[in-house]
Amino acid sequence: MRLRRIEPHLRRALAGPCGMPPGARLLVAVSGGADSTALLVGLARIAPEFGIALHAAHLHHGLRGAEADLDLRFVRRLCARLGVPLITAHRDGRALMAQRGQAGENGLRMMRRRFLRAAMLRARATAIATAHTADDQLETVLMRLLRGAGLRGLGGMRERHGPWLKPLLDATRIEVVTDLRAARVKWREDRSNRDRAWTRNRIRHDAIPALLSALEPARARASAAVRVRRTTARTAAPDASSQDRAAFARRVAAVAREARDAERALGIWLDRTRPPFLSIQDGAATLDRERLAAFPIAARRMALRRAWRRVAPAGVGLTRRHMAALCNLVAGSHLRRRLDLPAGVRAERGRDTIRLIPEPAGRSPRKPIIIPRPRSVGGRHPAGPSAWGEP
């Protein structure tokens, strides 16, 4: 089962940003959908070239009844055919999310991440590969644009983030489907990926076609009017709209890569600034306010985020509204000299400094500052049903 378009993407990823030492074990998250099926099939062919051993993992969420049972059966058969050990688990998704105070796709995503981390330890793997593609990157960047993303958000998903690898991030959905059809490899379709209750699905099925139509209206009308002649369901040629979407995904993926490179360069510049603009003492972060105010806005935000990560509990982030308030504090553009931030951290403006001070142990955190929320542009949750766990 050779995937002629997908395998070169995987080779470049494993030789580059997703590289692993020979002898390492890689856990592959497999839902049974087209993308994860292609990821597993492609890796099964090329992993020996890199000396990498594969394990697969599949989580049954307990939410889709017989369809999910068939997904699990499909993944078991695929792994058996490829000779890849498989780790599975069955969860009562609703009960677990209710127990943890979670809901919606975010709760499911966190459940998957916990399962995959546990499976990684069980398999003694060093990394987890997920099947995000350039089309997923396109959707992610568009959603972040709608929320007013900065440089980091415009960079989209990264090929590597801690133990999480995305070796298909440069491949498009059309390449995945074309390869699977040519190799006569079946896959499973998840009906929830068509549910427009989720923002990602509305972006995928409504917003992207509308953007393509706005950019090339004549071609879009022609694509809608002409049906591509199909010989069989497994050998159908991609239509013009699919090709346009793939080209759009490649362009956005290239722009996102440039944004990641720019962010990396900015981080190196901050690391080399002398004297250092940030100091940590007694658990509090102190920044040189005058130098910080002179930084370009992207560098200023990055410096503030770095200081935040030094004082805030792991996993607690700053929203765009909190970051805007912090930048106003640095600039001295309003009379307020103090902000209460998440996790009980407070920011104080001195004559020459900005200090981020965590709440002393034993005290209950202050309520964060309330900043007017901009008008909502999304749905119930930004992640879509196919999001496998981007950190």
- Among 131-135, 171-175, 216-220, 275-279, where is mean pLDDT lowest? 216-220
DSSP-based three-state secondary structure for 68? helix
Tokens of 234: 């497994």
| Domain-embedded: residue 236 | no
Q: What's residue 375's pLDDT? A: 39
pTM for this entry = 0.80
- Decide if 75 contacts 30 (C-beta within 8 A): yes
Strand partners, 127: 26
Question: What pLDDT was estimated at residue 247?
Answer: 93
User: Which sign does the torsion angle of CA 277, 282, 284, 289 carry?
Assistant: negative
Out of 177, 194, 211, a domain closes at 194
Which ranges of 232-383 does DSSP label H, i.e. alpha helix?
240-272, 289-294, 297-311, 320-331
Give the neighbor-by-neighbor strand order of the sheet with 53-60.
86-90, 53-60, 25-29, 127-129, 164-165, 160-161
- 95 or 143: which carries more pLDDT confidence? 143
SS3 label, residue 27: strand
In a domain, 270, yes or no: no
What CATH number has the domain bearing residue 134? 3.40.50.620
Determine, yes or no, domain membership for 92. yes
Picking from 117-126, 191-200, 296-305, which range would have the lowest pLDDT averaged per residue?
Answer: 191-200
For residue 391, what are its two tokens? 């950190």
* ω into 167 cis (within 30 of 0): no
pLDDT at position 191 is 84
Confidence of residue 222 (pLDDT cuts 50, 70, 90): low
Choose one of 194, 216, 237: the last residue of a domain: 194
Q: What is the pLDDT of residues 292-338, one digit of tens each?
A: 999 999 999 999 999 999 998 877 888 888 999 999 999 886 677 89
More confident residue, 215 or 385: 215
Q: How many helices (H) and strands (E) does the chain have?
A: 15, 11
* 200 within some domain: no
Quote the domain boundaries for residue 352.
278-357
CA dihedral 296, 299, 304, 305 (to 10 degrees): 150
Residue 131 has pLDDT above 90, yes or no: yes
Residue 149 within any structural domain of the chain = yes
Of 156 and 233, more confident: 156
Q: Is 385 a domain residue?
A: no
Q: Are residues 59 and 170 in the same domain?
A: yes
376 compared with 35, residue with greater pLDDT: 35
Percent with pLDDT over 90 in the chain: 59
Q: Provide the pLDDT for residue 89.
A: 92
Give the model's confidence band at 232: pLDDT under 50 very low, under 70 low, under 90 confident, else very high. Answer: very low
Q: What is the 3-state composition of the chain as percent helix, strand, coil, each rounded to the nearest 5?
A: 50, 10, 35
- What is the pLDDT averaged over residues 237-257? 85
Contacts for 374 with CB less than 8 Å, ≥ 6 apart: 148, 321
> In angstroms, rounded to a whole number, what is the distance separating the alpha carbons of residues 5 and 95?
41
The total of structural domains in the chain comes to 2
Arithmetic mean of pLDDT over the chain: 84
H or E segment and range at residue 108: helix 104-123
Quick count: other Cβ atoms within 10 Å of Cβ 86? 20
Same domain, 142 and 12: yes
The residue from 194, 221, 241 where one domain ends is 194
